[in-house]
């Protein structure tokens, strides 16, 4: 049976690819025990083979299902003797197009994964976080949580919600000595952005293409910090300020570049 043997441990959703996979690799290199969870079972199997079964618990998980989440957390708790140093709510999906042209059912699926999935994770994992000194509840938000961006309206809405939830829980969970933080990535080279988006990205600035390892390194830094919001790249913090101070100007700039 896979067992953490007293090591620090991280529970990662969306671990089969992209930012989640790079985070699993990095924490494995740092000597942590990794819980890797995703709907992509083939990707999980490949990750576990790479990290070693003694270092990685890999299980299928649809984060929108609370019962599946309970099963995953229970298995993780068995492997770590009830320890969870970091919960990394990373799983997410996106749809691109005009709000009025996409089926409502598809957009509600985005809400179920990106927001309800995060809530499922926090509710289910909280007893383990409370039982672990200096635990961190960490969630992937998005640069679209700085300003609602056209053509990904519902995705942006869920990421705004995640950001707000993180801010609120960062105070509520102080009574448990559990920290909360999030990462707001820009254009990351993962399976989510289209090839066209990546190909047409600017060479510099806040929306240049960033490698997934930079987000993984941010998770590592966040564990030893009390910083609430982590922007990747850091220049996105200026966009967040602009959205708060002059949202109309930013809205109009985004509208000029709107293409399907």
Return the closest-CA partner of residue 180 out of 137, 139, 140, 227: 137
Cβ(73)–Cβ(125) below 8 Å: yes
Tell me if residue 123 is catalytic: no
| pLDDT computed for residue 127 by the predictor | 98
For the chain, the first-to-last Cα distance in angstroms comes to: 48
In the predicted structure, residue 87 carries a pLDDT above the cut 60: yes
pLDDT band for 27, please (50, 70, 90 cuts): very high
- pTM of the predicted model as reported, rounded to 2 decimal places: 0.92
Give the per-residue SS3 of 130-170.
Answer: HCCCCCEEEEECCHHHCCCCCCCHHHHHHHHHHHHHHHHHH
Contact (CB, 8 A) for 163 and 253: no
Residue 13 pairs in a beta bridge with 37
User: Which residues are bridge partners to 34 per DSSP?
Assistant: 10, 56
| Omega before 30 within 30 of 0, i.e. cis | no
Q: Is 104 exposed, middle or buried (0-12, 13-18, 19+ CB in 10 A)?
A: exposed
Q: How many CB atoms lie within 10 A of CB 216?
A: 24
* Nearest to 51, CA basis, from 71, 83, 74, 23: 23
- Among the listed residues 70, 60, 7, the one whose alpha carbon sits nearest the alpha carbon of residue 37: 60
State yes or no: pLDDT of 3 exceeds 70.
Answer: yes
**Measured distance CA(56)–CA(50) in Å, rounded:** 9
Work out the pLDDT band at 80, boundaries 50, 70, 90: very high
Q: Considering only residues 168 and 186, tell me which one the structure prediction assigns the higher pLDDT.
A: 168
pLDDT value, residue 223: 98
pLDDT band (50, 70, 90) for residue 198: low
- Rounded to 5 degrees, φ, ψ at 152 are -135, 45
Of residues 15 and 5, which shows the higher confidence score?
A: 15
CB 75 within 8 A of CB 57: yes
Confirm if 152 and 110 have CB atoms less than 8 A apart.
no
What is the structure's pLDDT at 259?
Answer: 56
How much is the mean pLDDT over the chain?
Answer: 91
pLDDT digits (tens, 9 = 90+) for 58-68: 999 999 999 99
Q: Please answer whether residues 139 and 160 qualify as being in contact, where contact means their C-beta atoms are separated by less than 8 angstroms.
A: no
pLDDT of residue 203 exceeding 80, the answer is no
40 contact partners, CB below 8 Å, separation of at least 6: 16, 17
What is the per-residue pLDDT across 115-153, written as a single tens digit (0 to 9) for each?
A: 999 999 999 999 999 999 999 999 999 988 988 889 999
Query: Residues 241, 219: contact at Cβ < 8 Å?
Result: no
Q: Rounded to an integer, what distance in angstroms lies between the CA atom of residue 124 and that of residue 186?
A: 29
Catalytic residue, candidates 69, 123, 155, 223: 155
| Model confidence pLDDT, tens digit, residues 207-260 | 667 789 999 999 999 999 999 999 998 888 988 888 788 888 878 877 765 555
How many CA atoms lie less than 13 Å away from 203 in the CB half-sphere?
0
| Number of neighbouring beta carbons within 10 Å of residue 25 | 18
């Amino acid at each position: 049976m896979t067992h953490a043997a007293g090591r620090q441990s991280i529970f990662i959703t969306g671990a089969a690819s992209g930012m989640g996979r790079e985070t699993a690799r990095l924490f494995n290199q740092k000597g942590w025990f990794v819980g890797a969870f995703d709907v992509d079972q083939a990707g999980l199997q490949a990750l576990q083979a790479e990290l070693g079964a003694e270092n990685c618990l890999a299980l299928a998980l649809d984060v929108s299902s609370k019962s599946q989440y309970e099963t995953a957390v229970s298995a993780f708790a068995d492997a770590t003797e009830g320890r969870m140093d970091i919960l990394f709510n990373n799983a997410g999906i996106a749809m691109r197009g005009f709000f009025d042209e996409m089926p409502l059912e598809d957009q509600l699926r985005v809400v179920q994964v990106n927001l309800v999935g995060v809530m499922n994770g926090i509710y289910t994992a909280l007893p383990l976080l409370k039982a672990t000194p200096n635990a961190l509840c960490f969630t992937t938000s998005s640069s679209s949580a700085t300003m609602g961006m056209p053509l990904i309206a519902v995705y942006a809405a869920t990421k705004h919600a995640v950001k707000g939830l993180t801010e609120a829980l960062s105070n509520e969970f102080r009574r448990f000595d559990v920290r909360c933080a999030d990462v707001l990535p820009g254009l990351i080279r993962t399976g989510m952005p289209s090839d066209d988006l990546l190909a047409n990205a600017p060479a510099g600035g806040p929306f240049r293409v960033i490698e997934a390892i930079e987000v993984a390194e941010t998770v590592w830094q966040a564990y030893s910090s009390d910083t609430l919001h982590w922007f990747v790249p850091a220049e996105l913090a200026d966009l967040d300020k602009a959205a708060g101070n002059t949202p109309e100007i930013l809205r109009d700039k985004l509208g000029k570049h709107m293409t399907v």
